[in-house]
């Protein structure tokens, strides 16, 4: 049923009752959410629709590097002394820029192994593109090589430090072409309570050029207020999710970019380079201008293991494996 829903994205997806039904049929996948509901005093059933408007305020739980004293605290943090210069510089720029780059983190052999795996999994029908026709979701559950890359200790260590909590892999997305996705922040798709305890690591699996639809991002945009359901016309009602909610969200983001005169940077990466971004950093995929351009890459999303993860736009709690990866 889930595969069918994934493929035939349409009106059916706008009925909240579908998600309640799916939740009822998958109680084990709600175990983590139930625990987080208890932890954060959320007194409703995780089966029901949820978005940020239904959650208690948790302002005192802002991630440590999103607070005004972040830079001062980093400069005196003894853990930074043990890091290589480029990693240390990346972490120091995080509070201001909302991203950091780890060059050549993966070798040619590691990149090749993941590319071969994805080719094989697609050929054998073990994984497939989702409704976008461009994204292969959760391949790490089917491939040791993908899982190894996404849960690489060097990435997880950096994430643990940046967020100040124990971070776990939630999901991987593999691309063979560019996403050409308009600017957005991950928090509209994968939201945490308290806010901000999510980050992504994006790995180039072949050279990125101006022509093959590279990743773009807007430095500093993570400091803007989060754009969530209460702040744009999502069009949803008691029983339905607005059919054009995502299109309206994209308009709200484009407006913020214009208002704040944000300028994108392009990640012209080499294979094995990694970009880590903040939960609220605006980013997207540039248009592919070369015909049949290939753009192999992988985005992995992580969240802190002691927060609630849910989907603001589709208003439902996130399903978890019994044990999210990356312990």
Ligand X SMILES: O=C(O)CCC(=O)C(=O)O
Give residues in contact with ligand X (CB under 6 A): 173, 175, 178-179, 181, 186, 200, 215, 283-285, 297, 299
Residue owning tokens 């208003």? 315
Q: Which is nearer to ligand X, 161 or 190 (CB)?
A: 190
CB of 132 to ligand X, least distance (A): 11
Q: Which is nearer to ligand X, 37 or 303 (CB)?
A: 303
CB of 284 to ligand X, least distance (A): 6
Q: Which is nearer to ligand X, 19 or 217 (CB)?
A: 217
CB of 28 to ligand X, least distance (A): 26
At what angle are helices 153-163 and 85-97 packed, to 10 degrees? Answer: 40
| In the complex, residue closest to ligand X by CB | 285
The DSSP annotation for 194-229 comes to STT-EEEEEEESS---SSB--EEE-TTGGGSPP--G
| Beta-strand pair 308-311/215-217 | unpaired
Q: Exposed/middle/buried for 135, CB within 10 Å: 0-12, 13-18, 19+? A: middle
Q: Which is nearer to ligand X, 194 or 213 (CB)?
A: 213
Residue 22 tokens read as 């799916």
Look at residue 130 and give its three-state secondary structure: coil
CB of 46 to ligand X, least distance (A): 24
Q: Which is nearer to ligand X, 30 or 169 (CB)?
A: 169
Say if CB 44 and CB 315 are below 8 A apart. Answer: no
**Which among 2, 26, 16 has a CA at the least distance from the CA of 50?**
16
CB of 69 to ligand X, least distance (A): 29
């Amino acid at each position: 049923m889930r595969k069918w829903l994934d493929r035939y994205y349409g009106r059916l997806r706008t009925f909240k009752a579908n998600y309640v039904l799916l939740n009822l049929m998958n109680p084990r996948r709600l175990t983590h959410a139930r625990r987080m509901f208890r932890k954060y005093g959320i007194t409703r059933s995780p089966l029901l629709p949820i978005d940020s408007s239904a959650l208690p305020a948790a302002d005192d739980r802002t991630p440590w590097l999103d607070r005004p004293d972040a830079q001062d605290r980093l400069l005196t943090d003894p853990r930074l002394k043990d890091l290589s210069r480029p990693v240390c510089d990346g972490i120091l720029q995080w509070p201001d820029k909302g991203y950091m780059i780890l060059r050549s983190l993966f070798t040619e052999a590691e990149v090749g192994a993941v590319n071969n795996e994805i080719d094989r999994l697609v050929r054998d029908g073990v994984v497939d593109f989702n409704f976008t026709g461009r994204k292969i979701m959760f391949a790490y559950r089917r491939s040791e090589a993908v899982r190894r890359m996404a849960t690489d200790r060097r990435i997880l260590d950096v994430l643990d430090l940046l967020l100040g909590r124990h971070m776990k892999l939630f999901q991987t997305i593999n691309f063979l072409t560019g996403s050409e996705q308009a600017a957005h922040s991950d928090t509209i798709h994968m939201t945490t309570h308290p806010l901000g305890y999510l980050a992504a690591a994006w790995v180039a699996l072949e050279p990125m050029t101006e022509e093959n639809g590279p990743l773009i991002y807007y430095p500093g945009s993570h400091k803007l207020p989060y754009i969530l359901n209460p702040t744009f016309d999502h069009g949803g009602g008691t029983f339905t999710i607005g059919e054009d909610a995502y299109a309206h969200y994209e308009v709200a983001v484009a407006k913020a970019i214009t208002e704040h005169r944000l300028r994108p940077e392009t990640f012209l990466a080499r294979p094995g380079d990694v970009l880590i971004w903040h939960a609220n950093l605006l980013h997207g995929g540039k248009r592919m201008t070369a015909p049949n351009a290939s753009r192999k890459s992988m985005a992995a999303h992580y969240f802190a293991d002691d927060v609630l993860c849910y989907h603001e736009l589709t208003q439902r709690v996130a399903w978890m494996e019994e044990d999210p990866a990356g312990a």
